[in-house]
A and B are shown apart, each in its own frame.
Chain A
Amino acid sequence: MLPVLLQQVRRDRIILPIWVLGTAALLAVSAASVVNEYGDAEGRSQILTVALATPALLSLRGIPNGDSLGSAVHFQSYAFLAVTIGLMNVFLATRHGRADEEKGRRELLLATPVSRLTPAVATLVLAVVANAVFAVLAALGYLAAGLPADGAVLSATALAVTGLAFFGVGMLAGELTATTRAASGIGVVLVLVAYALRAAGDALGTPDVAKLTLEPAWPSWLSPIGWGQQTFAFTDDIWWPVAAIGALAVVLVGVALVVHSRRELGASLLAERRGRAAARPTLRGAFGLAWRLHWPTLLAWTLGSALLGLGLGSLITAVSQLDFADNPQLAAILQSLGHTDQSDAAAALIPALMVIVGSMAAAAGVQAVLRAREEEAAGRAEILLASPVSRIGWLLAFTALGVVTVAVVLLATGLASAAGFAASGSDEFVWQSLGQCLVQAPAALAFVAVTALVVGLLPRAAIGLGWGLFGAGVVIGYFGQVLQLPDWLLKASPITHVPEVPVDDWVPTLVVTAIAVVLAALGMAAFRRRDLTT
């Protein structure tokens, strides 16, 4: 047992500390930022009043309970911290569970005098230790932000026990499916479903504006994250939800262990889905394959960003109904976010928030183009390029995939945000939001083109460089002015050239588009001239 556990610890010596420390740091930072941003009781009450009137905000955050600091922290950060810790535990379970079995490492281990259950129990011990360490760090993080100790211990414990429940989900998923990919996929989806159920329940809940509380609707009660919110840490400090989550964790882990002790090595409760005996007629040409490989990813991006767009509509509508005459400070913040002198803060928010949508579309596009490099590195480009597929045609297919991805994500988000505004009765913003979403395209396409260039020119560095340049562009675009970066550096990021609708001057947009076309073409030319590199 101990050697098996130590070996698992050794394998996780980098990845697990990153998750634990990273999540604890996220918790400390978000608690501290609530202290800064929400200000005094009056400010908190103002913001929470807006939140209670805005289903989009409630679904993204959680349940407030009065105007105390602890209420704001619990409202702001509990749900997404639960998601983070849930993901950490799902991956922990599948990494040492199904992945070991799939790669054949478990076979090697079980051929030694190690019992069938030992590796699984060792991983369980590892998970308990990791979550306990997280709980200690989390409690310290809350205390550092000046929150009461009782609530700090409760919230940290609730998060850690939620983590163990999702560890059980990951274990059970590994018993169900034959591949790590499927097991992790099921685990991640269940974490997101748990978040989405409480998001729906909270958004549909009954607010009490006077007391600043919310009675969530029934979907929240189906989710362990929803139960954790019912602890009302820092305010009412209720412990029974922790016991409920703990019971869920015990049941999930117990069932997984029983199944595991009876299951043959490599077997799974669900048979792997069989593929088609013959390809669909659409699977042809370089683009046909690129599309076949990438469409599920594209669909996920589209749905995610469309949900965001829908939320933006109702969020901005709620903000526009605030009375800014009372709060010139808030108005100033919103205007500076929008880089505009428009006095209407809501109208100013649209460009600021749509830049984020543009970056999401760019990230999805960059990922699509980088698939080319993944194909090449895995050796799958070789068999294709030994067929009558030209070098240029092959890289063009993945670049086109990036372009399509950007277009689909922007269009879906634009339409969703327009629908969100229409549904909230803010008809005056429908066209502005759609237009502002679409004018993000040239900047996003510039990132796609730069990625095609690095894939063509510097294959081995392409993945790091592609994401690195994207990150640099985003940082310069978002924070360049605040950081007082030199003008030429600001202009180097395509994001700074995104116009605001109605657009008076189309020249910068056209220039960015032209540069993107040239960079992509250079990428193809470079790829035509180099060796295939694995």
Chain B
Amino acid sequence: MNTVIEAQSLTKRFGRTLALDGLDLTVSEGEVHGFLGPNGAGKSTTIRVLLGLLRGNGGSATVLGRDPWKDAVAIHRDIAYVPGDVTLWPNLSGGETIDYLTRLRGGADKALRARLIDAFQLDPRKKGRGYSKGNRQKVALVAAFARPAKLYIFDEPTSGLDPVMESVFRAEVERVQKEGATVLLSSHILSEVEQLCDRITIVRSGRAVETGSLDELRHLTRTSFRVATGASLAEVAALPGVHDAREETGHLVFDVDGAELEHVLTSLTREGVTAITATPPSLEELFLRHYGDRIEATGSDAA
């Protein structure tokens, strides 16, 4: 599979602040890649470097096999981009803005444009200054989807959309992926990434801290159990890999490290199990582990 985006030890400095601190990112052709991190982690900065809007201070990046700084224009022919904070021209209508932006890439597919405006329930005759944040985002999304591209880059695309519009957005991402396009989607909305993305890169303080498929990342985290068992709380709590064990209404509740699952389950079944619920880790927990480690380091985590 071809690599569409390849960034290695990317650094970017703004004065004294180090926005990117050796960031690595690999996105393969045809995948929907989630780019997860809290505000200020460096997601938008990375995207702007990948678009040649900012120039990296160190490391290397290629987009569609080219240098994004030197060959910006050539690369941009195949890219559709929606910035995180969409600002529109106050006196241009939404329809004009969509036509203008798609014309820069060669012109909109008329039927597609009409279908998208309808699907996103956009009023194309309103002036740019009159749109709410969500509607500005919809204008940019319609402009991005209305002409096929090889690579779609969305910076927190659904932060202003309601759940119905989010599902419209998801359907469009699935459509372009089926057509063979690659998608890079930055977000801190976990449900969106869980539903859409094949692979994920988690970024924090300008570095990629984890990368892999959702399944691969789940191995790194804990599963929550709620069990009715003959084993005592003390016995279970003493097992290696068990965290936060406690008793709730006659059940034992605890978390288990992915690597110790087999061992813990064997021990439990030896003691007898009458009821069991296991909850897979959500991406919220993935986040908490990566961004909550500051809390752990200060010793406030009992585990």
With contacts A390-B72, A390-B73, A531-B53 known, is A276 near B96, CB below 8 A?
Answer: yes
Contact string against A for B residues 84-95, beta-carbon threshold 8 Å, 1 for contact and 0 otherwise: 011111111111
On whether the beta carbons of A284 and B124 are closer than 8 Å, the reply is no
Q: Quick check: B100 and A385 within 8 Å, CB to CB?
A: no
Knowing A383-B83, A386-B79 are in contact, say whether A277-B124 is a contact too (CB < 8 A): yes
* A279 in contact with B53 (CB, 8 Å): no
Whether A285 contacts B104 by the Cβ 8 Å rule is: yes
Give the chain A neighbours of B89 by CB distance below 8 A.
Answer: 289, 293, 380
**In the complex, how many residue pairs between chain A and chain B have their CB atoms under 8 Å apart?**
106
Whole-angstrom CA separation of A378 from B125 in the bound complex: 22
Enumerate chain B residues within 8 angstroms of A389, measured Cβ to Cβ: 73, 76, 104
- Check A275–B95 contact: CB distance below 8 A: yes
What separation, in Å, do the CA atoms of A385 and B75 have in the docked complex? Answer: 11
Q: List 30 A-B contacts (CB under 8 A).
A: A275-B91, A275-B96, A275-B125, A277-B95, A278-B95, A278-B96, A278-B124, A279-B103, A283-B99, A285-B104, A292-B92, A293-B89, A378-B87, A379-B83, A379-B87, A380-B87, A383-B83, A384-B104, A385-B51, A385-B52, A386-B51, A386-B83, A386-B153, A387-B105, A388-B73, A389-B73, A530-B55, A531-B53, A531-B54, A532-B48
Q: Is the CB of A277 within 8 A of B125?
A: yes
B126 at the binding interface (Cβ < 8 Å):
yes
For A378, the chain B residues whose CB sits under 8 A away are: 87
Closest to A180 in B: B129
Write the nearest CB–CB distance from B66 to chain A, whole angstroms: 13
Residues of A within 8 A of B (CB-CB), count: 35
Q: At the interface, yes or no: A274 with Cβ under 8 Å from chain B?
A: yes
Query: Is A42's CB within 8 Å of the partner chain B?
Result: no
Q: Any chain A CB within 8 A of the CB of B77?
A: yes
Is A388's CB under 8 angstroms from B93's CB?
A: no
Report chain B residues within 8 Å CB of A273.
127
Rounded to whole angstroms, the CA-CA distance of A267 and B191 in the bound complex is 38
* B94 CB contacts on chain A under 8 angstroms: 275
**Which residues in B have some Cβ–Cβ distance to A below 8 Å?**
48, 51-55, 72-74, 76-77, 79, 81, 83, 85-101, 103-105, 124-127, 129-130, 140, 153
Min C-beta distance of A293 to chain B, whole Å: 7
CB-CB under 8 A from B124, the residues of chain A are 277-278
Q: Chain B residues near A383 (CB, 8 Å)? A: 81, 83, 86, 101, 140
Q: Find out whether the CB atom of A279 lies under 8 angstroms from the CB atom of B73.
A: no
Which residues in window 172-218 of A have CB below 8 A to B?
Answer: 179, 181
Whether A284 pairs with B100 at a CB distance below 8 angstroms is yes
Say whether B53 contacts A276, CB under 8 Å: no
From residue 12 to 43 of chain A, which have CB atoms closer than 8 A to chain B? none
> What residues of A have a CB within 8 angstroms of the CB of B95 in the complex?
275-279
Which residue of the partner chain, among A181, A276, A391, contacts B125 with CB atoms under 8 Å? A276
CB–CB A385/B96 < 8 A: no
B272 → A minimal CB distance (Å): 61
Partner-B contacts on A (CB < 8 A): 179, 181, 272-280, 283-285, 288-289, 292-293, 378-380, 382-391, 529-532
Residues of B within 8 A of A280 (CB): 96
14 additional contacts, CB 8 Å, given A272-B130, A274-B125, A386-B81?
A: A275-B91, A275-B95, A275-B96, A276-B95, A277-B93, A279-B98, A279-B100, A284-B104, A289-B100, A382-B83, A383-B83, A385-B52, A388-B105, A391-B72
Q: Which of B93, B99, B101 contacts A387 (CB 8 A)?
A: B101
Q: Which of B55, B99, B126 contacts A279 (CB 8 A)?
A: B99
Kindly provide the distance from the CB of B290 to the nearest chain A CB, expressed in whole angstroms: 28
The main secondary structure of chain B at its interface with chain A is mixed
Hey, which chain B residues are within 8 Å of A272, CB to CB?
Answer: 127, 130
Q: In chain A, what residue has the closest Cβ to B50?
A: A386
| Best-surrounded residue of A179, A277, A384 (most CB of chain B within 10 A) | A277
Using Cβ atoms and an 8 Å threshold, which residues of chain B touch A179? 129
Q: Which one of B48, B54, B92, B103 contacts A275 once the chains associate, using CB atoms below 8 Å?
A: B92
Least CB distance from B246 to A in Å reads 45
B117: min CB distance to chain A, Å:
9
CB-CB under 8 A from B76, the residues of chain A are 386-389
A275 to B53, CA, bound (A): 30
Q: Please name all residues of chain B whose beta carbon is closer than 8 Å to the beta carbon of A379 when the two chains form the complex.
A: 83, 85, 87
Smallest Cβ-Cβ distance to A288: which chain B residue? B100
Least CB distance from A276 to B in Å reads: 5
Closest chain A CB from B50 CB (angstroms): 10
Nearest to A375 among chain B residues (CB) is: B89
Give Cα A288–Cα B104 distance, bound, in whole angstroms: 11
Contact between chains at A276 and B54 (CB < 8 Å): no
Check B53 against A386 for contact (C-beta < 8 Å). yes
A358: min CB distance to chain B, Å: 30
Instruction: Select which of A276, A284, A382 is within 8 A of B103 by beta carbon.
Output: A284
Tell me, rounded to whole Å, the shortest Cβ–Cβ distance linking B201 to chain A: 20
Cβ-defined contact, A275 with B140, below 8 A:
no
Closest-by-CB residue of A relative to B97 is A279
- A280: nearest residue on chain B (CB-CB)? B96
Decide if B77 touches A388 in the complex (CB within 8 Å): yes
Q: How far is the CA of A285 from the CA of B77 in the complex (A)?
A: 13
- Interchain nearest-CB distance for B75 vs A (Å): 9
Which among A285, A382, A530 has the greatest number of chain B C-beta atoms within 10 A? A382
C-alpha spacing A272/B131, complex, angstroms = 13
Most B CB within 10 A of own CB, among A292, A380, A383: A383
Write the chain B residue with the least CB distance to A273: B127
Cβ contacts under 8 Å, A384 to chain B: 104
Instruction: A272 to B129: give the CA distance in the assembly, Å.
Output: 11
